[in-house]
Amino acid sequence: MPKESMKVQAHIGNTEEEGKQSFQGTKRSRGMLLLRLWQYLGRNRLLLVLALVLSISSSLFSLYGPKLSGQAINAIDLGKGKVDFHTVYHCVFLMAAFYILSSILTYLLNAVMIRLSKKISKQMRHDIFENMSRLPVSFYDRYQTGNIISIVTYDVDTVNQSMSSDLLQILQSIVTVVVSFIMMISIAPKLVIIFVFTVPATAVFTRWLANRVRPMFRKRSAKLGELNGFVEEMISGQKTIRAYGREDAVLEKFEEKNKIAVDAYTTAEANGTVTGPAVTCINNISLTLVCVFGALLFLRGDILLGDLSSFVQYSRKFSGPINEVANIIAELQSAFAAAERVFGLIDAEPEKADAPDAKILSDVKGQVTLDHVDFSYVPEKPIIKDFSMLAKPGSLTAIVGPTGAGKTTIINLLMRFYDVDGGAVLVDGQDIRELTRDSLRRAYTMVLQDTWLFHGTIYENIAYGKPGATMEDVVRAAKAAKIHSYISRLPEGYNTILSDNGTSISKGQKQLLTIARAMLLDAHMLILDEATSNVDTRTEQQIQAAMRELMKDKTCFVIAHRLSTIRSANHILVMRDGQVVEQGTHDSLMAARGFYHELYQAQFES
């Protein structure tokens, strides 16, 4: 875990588990969520129009069946015992043809909706990742990585599953309800009065239940995200967990979080599934009333038997979609809760844009000044207080001090990952807030203590910061970083694939690869955050020699816990509690016998 992340955690929560928050998103009304979803649908108008045409056509073919069924029954004269077989056969043939056509169109509709859902899912993930690339570093310091991954995977899938299945069902249900209602009015207007009472009862009940269960599904998504975040952290820390024998404690904590997630899931599903049976009960009551009053009308001669049969079938089709929509209320609430998190991540405030008149940093000399800087991650808990320093072009500035003194925070301010609360950071006399972030960060090369390698070849990893670098350039950088001989011994050499952040190689080798990556760049300023912490003493000495060559004519900042590595620094800043308590060369600081002397002696006393 990055050191700054741990510092932020220390301010936000009391324990490591509580340090990073679960990303919840912003609560939004159903209308706003539907509008946002509609905007995604609107980007695929042709598929959407095709889906509407197929849905309406399929439903119309299917809904004409009950009408033909009633005509076939009316072709039977019960009083005379005669049957108009021509009419019966004609109706049966048309029914079979219409139902087959309806099935074919439904299949095509499903295929179109799957394609539409796939496009929307792809676009959503693109929008999420695009915005994530613009979010400030502070965002990732606050929120769990696993929780964010849960949004990109689970929540997006939940939303799109609902759009591909539930939306399709709702479209067909609307057509079915409207057409069935028109057909019932044309057959027996008196019987339609029954639905004047049952339909509003269904609508009121489903609306009440939807408002009740939506917070439950919101909580379900949040707790699942927290569980994913915990699992991601524990998987990445397996070696540490096993080394300290904390398996049982981790398992106990997992069981606790797992129980909370399962309970939230069960509560949401249990309350959500009440809708279906309740609406089914109301629909069955309406069907019973239709049969009773329909029989009375038949006995009075106000309706034919075939028409009554058609009306009953249409009443089933009319009530069925209402029941189906009620059954998917729970899924819709789950989709709305997931959509809140998805759109919350898409709409998360990106890193502040450069000032309209921001200048591009060019012709860099490398003079860096921190002028009375104040900074805090959390208001009222300052980390840096009235801090000033000057790094001349081509100088080597070492920053030392105990953990939490503010060393890495200074690097974050230099790179403008965070903005200062007071004072200013200047490069060549220009306030970095008046410069474009891109040009500022390109002026630096960074080698961090926490190495990062991606899935790809060794060549691609070294050339990462310099697209178009030749193999000769990469080999030259690898030789300077003292890693070329190791790479040459690999079966595939520079074409060897690294996977899972380079877990197949040692930490020292990973560190050397990142140093080679830095050596390939031609930046004017260099930042080394304990860059040799993972290598042995002999290799460290070799790298120090290579670093001296790399650092020629460059302004360099080195954060070091091993004070033996910065004896030759032009200037050493000794930090304590966010302030520079001493500064000077190694010899002058040792002669002063102050705090630096204490730190140095603590490392080398026998």
pLDDT tens-digit series, residues 483-540: 888 899 988 899 988 876 555 677 778 888 888 888 888 788 888 876 666 566 666 6
What gap in Å lies between CA 361 and CA 294, rounded to an integer?
84
Q: Check pLDDT > 90 for residue 104.
A: yes
- Write out pLDDT tens, residues 213-264: 778 877 887 787 788 778 877 776 766 677 667 778 888 888 888 888 888 8
Check if the beta carbon of residue 482 is closer than 8 Å to that of residue 549: no
> Both tokens of residue 187?
């057959």
pLDDT at residue 199 is higher than 60: yes
Kindly tell me if the per-residue pLDDT of 606 is higher than 60. Answer: no
- Which CATH homologous superfamily contains domain 3-346? ABC transporter type 1, transmembrane domain (1.20.1560.10)
Residue 531 is predicted with a pLDDT of: 60
**Which residue type occupies 261?**
A
Burial 178-217 (b: 16+ CB within 10 A, else e): ebbbebbeebbeebbebbeebbeebeebbeebbeebbebb
Domain ranges of the chain: 3-346, 368-604
Residue 424 has pLDDT above 90, yes or no: yes
Residue 79 pLDDT level (bands cut at 50, 70, 90):
low
Q: Does residue 209 or residue 356 have the better pLDDT? A: 356
pLDDT confidence of residue 385: 82
CB 526 within 8 A of CB 444: yes
Q: Residue 556 phi/psi, 5° resolution?
A: -120, 140
Quickly count: other Cβ atoms within 10 Å of residue 139's Cβ.
17
User: What pLDDT score was predicted for residue 90?
Assistant: 83
Please list the alpha-helical segments (H only) found in 522-585: 537-550
Considering only CA atoms, which of 172, 191, 144 is closest in space to residue 23? 144
Model pLDDT, residue 322: 67
Structure confidence at residue 604 (pLDDT): 67
Residue-wise pLDDT tens digits, 149-183: 888 888 888 888 777 777 777 777 778 888 878 88
What was the pLDDT predicted at 20? 62
CATH of 368-604, one of 3.40.50.300, 3.40.50.9100, 2.20.70.10, 3.90.1150.10: 3.40.50.300
What is the Cα–Cα distance from 304 to 501, expressed in whole angstroms? 76
Q: Tokens 């019973």 identify what position?
A: 288
Distance from C-alpha of 587 to C-alpha of 564, rounded to nearest angstrom: 12
Q: Tell me the average pLDDT of the chain.
A: 79
388: phi then psi, degrees, rounded to nearest 5: -130, 145
Q: Which residue has the higher pLDDT, 424 or 304?
A: 424
Is pLDDT at 77 greater than 90 in this prediction?
Answer: no
pLDDT of residue 7: 36
pTM above 0.75, yes or no: no
Q: Which residue has the tokens 């904590």?
A: 253
Please report which confidence band the pLDDT of residue 432 belongs to, taking 50, 70 and 90 as the band edges. Answer: very high
Q: Which amino acid is at 38?
A: W
